[in-house]
Amino acid sequence: MQGQALPLAVVDLDAFDRNVAHVGQLVGRRTSQMRVRVASKSLRVPDLLRRVLAYGPPYAGVMCYAAAEAVLLYQAGFDDLLVAYPTRQPADLNALREIHEQGATVHLVVDSLDGTEQIARAMAGVTRPFSLIIEADVSYRPLRGRVHIGVRRSPLRTVEAVVDLVVSARRFETICIGGVMAYEAQVAGVGDRSPFRRHLNPILRALRQRSASDVARRRQRLAQMLESAGSPPLIFNGAGTGSLTYACDEPWLTELTAGSAFLCPHLFDYYSNITFEPALFFALQCVRRSDADHATCFGGGYVASGQPGCDKLPLPYLPQGLTLVDNEGAGEVQTPLRADGPLALRIGDPVIFRHAKAGELAERFSHYQLVTNDAIVGSVPTYRGLGACFG
């Protein structure tokens, strides 16, 4: 990092490629039929998306998080785009309609009949039906639903509700049901060996395992009922990085989704069932030495979204032995660090950090520097670097 303008963000391509290969081999060992759709939200860098897809099978297709993003990626040469979050904004639907009519393979997630009707109206006059993916809620709801464990996503909480929507959608000529999605966030997005809440780890591990079994049964039943209703899903999407080892054993799924696996932010160190290599870092300049055992870096307040907590803060990585200062954390313009031994940092030296999540760092940097064999070999633009912001 010496001589580079700081702050900067870095991707270790050697670790990145090994993570891509690891996921590919993990899924490929279980089945040759399953494919892996790449989650753009966790990368937000078209060149890195291309690098994953260039690996070949089982990788195919992109899961987008915004309609405008799907348009940008299609214009950049990507296809088979699944927009995973519903939208009813006319601008979004018009943009998706436009690339659909240009020949794109694009799908949009929906979870209600009125949403389906609105999209069908927006697609009036299309030359071929526009594909919708029905999202089923697979949150864990023990005690007859009195307890909700998972994220608040689809209102379609029973297999019957999903099948009813699929059947009801048949009357619209301008749309077709391309498949279903059932994402188990309470398994994929929850670590069970966190150093920030050690007392909860045994409980979370048991809940994850029990929920994974419950999700598998519900997805199997959904596949069977759709088959019986004459609408077997062409696409049946499930899983995320944290649940790959569970979901890849489900033969009724046609595809899994992965994204964070390739960059391995520090939240993905805290899973008992997966292991990946850190591949994404950012470097800050040491600008102050306030005390013999303290150094302060410029910037660094790159705090991850989600439930507030210490686990959402970036963590110092190199040099070893540095920790955040409790009463300041990671700040907008300065991040103080405390050393657990002799502090060798000099003013101007770089300090390397890891972000808690994979994709959000791309909102802070216009470019990622690419490193191979400890040498910077290139620079690629993030969505921000391309002038795009999708919220």
Neighbours of 313 (CB within 10 A): 21
Boundaries of domain holding 334 = 280-386
The reply to whether 22 falls in a domain is no
Q: What H or E segment, with its residue span, contains residue 294?
A: strand 294-298
For 245-278, the pLDDT digits (tens) are: 999 989 999 999 999 999 999 999 999 999 999 9
Spans of the chain below 50 pLDDT: none
DSSP string, 21-80: HHHHHHHHHH-SS-EEEEEGGGT--HHHHHHHHTT-TTEEEEEES-HHHHHHHHHTT---
Torsion over CA: 261, 262, 267, 271 (sign): positive
For 307-354, the pLDDT digits (tens) are: 888 999 999 999 999 999 999 999 999 999 999 888 889 999 999 999
Residue 220: the pLDDT is 95
pTM over 0.75: yes
Q: Residues 274, 268: contact at Cβ < 8 Å? A: yes
Q: What are phi and psi of 62, to 5 degrees?
A: -130, 135
Q: Residues 294, 258: contact at Cβ < 8 Å? A: no
Residue 189: the pLDDT is 87
Tell me the CATH number at 174. Answer: 3.20.20.10
For 208-230, the pLDDT digits (tens) are: 889 899 999 999 999 999 999 88
Taking only Cα atoms into account, the Rg of the chain, rounded to an integer number of angstroms, comes to 22
Residue 188: the pLDDT is 87
Tell me the CATH number at 351. Answer: 2.40.37.20
Residue 1: the pLDDT is 57
- Here the tokens at position 117 are 């009707």
**Are residues 161 and 191 located together in one domain of the fold?**
yes
Last residue of a domain, one of 260, 291, 313: 260
The reply to whether 376 falls in a domain is yes
Residue 31: the pLDDT is 65
